[in-house]
Amino acid sequence: MLKIGNIEMKNNVVLAPMAGVCNPAFRLIAKEFGTGLVCAEMVSDKAILHGNKRTMEMLFVDEREKPLSLQIFGGDRASLVEAAKIVDKQTNADIIDINMGCPVPKVTKCDAGARWLLDPNKIYEMVSAVTEAVDKPVTVKMRIGWDDEHVFAVENARAVERAGGSAVSVHGRTREQLYTGKANWDIIKEVKEAVSIPVIGNGDVFSPEDAKRMLEHTGVDGVMIGRGALGNPWMLYRTVHYLTHGELLPDPTPKEKMEIAILHMDRLVSLKGESTAVREMRKHMAWYMKGLPGSARIKDNIMEETGRDNMVAVLNQYIDSLPEDAHKPISVKWSDDEAAAQ
């Protein structure tokens, strides 16, 4: 069981806060597939304070998703605190997460995201200011370091703990690595041994067996799954079941994958309107179709579709065209290069 502050999850599997992915449509599917905690994509503190319509929509939480963590980022203490207060009092999120792992330049140039990894004192200052201003548990998601020469994961996690943080999630790569190379689980283990607050491990978890190995190797309290769940929420369900019962459930069939892909799209349509939802679903459809037999021949059609009904027709025609022996469970494996590209 994973417990963060006074929020208790039903299991220790966590959906990572992926930008452009973790909106309510996908988060709800992840929750329905058994995930203990789902995390929303990061939102800028200044965007929250400006209160524009799109940002406020990003703060929406469906009650069925709970418990849920809303992630914010920023480099200025005053604006970060004020944004956290809005999340604390004006949303029904359960946890406020602070991003100090995002590697993209437009974030780090604002002294936010992974930039904090270079300064444990700044981490303490910022996190303590937020924890003192809000009632909800405050957590931090970080990487192990900025680059190989600046790996301060243990010092940074201790700063989070001293500042009143209720948990820390650690991605086992540096900012310089982005999503390439291998995640360093040894450093995640060092963090777990150095603090008493819950630690959630993240990085290179693409199968239920990976999740179990991470838990056993690092001793972490929870395992966070990100890219492994893209187009494959069954990964979440299968991981929960495997960790609970020691049994590996079968992968989904092509038809099952398409049914959930359509459900995902329909929920996006309800949230964002048909035109925006269908455009956004193109990348998700490519992920849902990864590894399916003969899928390459219809991907071009999918990328050109602009209407929901036409997209569904393409998917149904694809399923109907499959030979009988193709209607079997499909296992999705990410190569290092493919994973890095997501």
Task: Quick: pLDDT tens for 22-33.
Answer: 999 999 999 999
223: Cα within 13 Å, side-chain hemisphere = 29
Band the pLDDT of 182: cuts 50, 70, 90: very high
Q: Under 8 Å CB-to-CB from 288, ≥6 apart: which residues? A: 231, 232, 257, 258, 260, 261, 264
Annotated catalytic residues are: 102
DSSP 88-108: HHHS--SEEEEEE----HHHH
Band the pLDDT of 175: cuts 50, 70, 90: confident
User: 330 with 295: CB under 8 angstroms?
Assistant: no
The pTM (predicted TM-score) of the whole model is 0.91
User: 237 with 34: CB under 8 angstroms?
Assistant: yes
The DSSP call for residue 59 is: T
> In this predicted model, what pLDDT tens digit does every residue of 49-104 receive, in sequence order?
998 888 888 999 999 999 999 999 998 999 999 999 999 999 999 999 999 978 88
- In this prediction, what percent of the chain has a pLDDT beyond 70? 94
ω into 329 cis (within 30 of 0): no
User: 308 with 266: CB under 8 angstroms?
Assistant: yes
Band the pLDDT of 331: cuts 50, 70, 90: low
180, pLDDT greater than 90: no
Amino acid identity at 211: A
Six-digit token pair at 194?
A: 């150095």
Q: Which residue has the higher pLDDT, 28 or 178?
A: 28
Strands 95-100 vs 43-44: parallel, antiparallel or unpaired? unpaired
> In this predicted model, what pLDDT tens digit does every residue of 265-318 receive, in sequence order?
999 999 999 999 999 999 999 999 988 888 888 888 888 888 999 999 999 999
- What is the C-alpha to C-alpha distance for residues 59 and 85, in angstroms, rounded to an integer? 13
Band the pLDDT of 342: cuts 50, 70, 90: very low
DSSP 283-323: HHHHHHTTT-TTTHHHHHHHHH--SHHHHHHHHHHHHHHS-
Rg of the chain taking only CA atoms, in angstroms: 20
- Listed in order, strand segments (DSSP E) in the chain are 3-4, 7-8, 13-15, 37-39, 43-44, 68-73, 95-100, 138-145, 167-174, 199-202, 222-225
Mean pLDDT, range 192-204, rounded to an integer: 97
Q: Can you give the pLDDT at residue 334? A: 41
Amino acid identity at 146: W
324, pLDDT greater than 80: no
326, pLDDT greater than 70: no
Mean pLDDT taken over the chain: 91
- What is the C-alpha to C-alpha distance for residues 2 and 341, in angstroms, rounded to an integer? 31
Band the pLDDT of 340: cuts 50, 70, 90: very low
Q: Can you give the pLDDT at residue 42? A: 93
Q: Can you give the pLDDT at residue 328? A: 55
User: 6 with 215: CB under 8 angstroms?
Assistant: no
- What is the C-alpha to C-alpha distance for residues 201 and 276, in angstroms, rounded to an integer? 34
Place of tokens 């269908």: 278
Q: Can you give the pLDDT at residue 115? A: 86
> In this predicted model, what pLDDT tens digit does every residue of 92-148 receive, in sequence order?
999 999 999 788 878 887 787 878 888 999 999 999 999 999 999 999 999 999 888
- Listed in order, strand segments (DSSP E) in 177-252 are 199-202, 222-225
Q: Coil, strand or helix: which one is 11?
A: coil
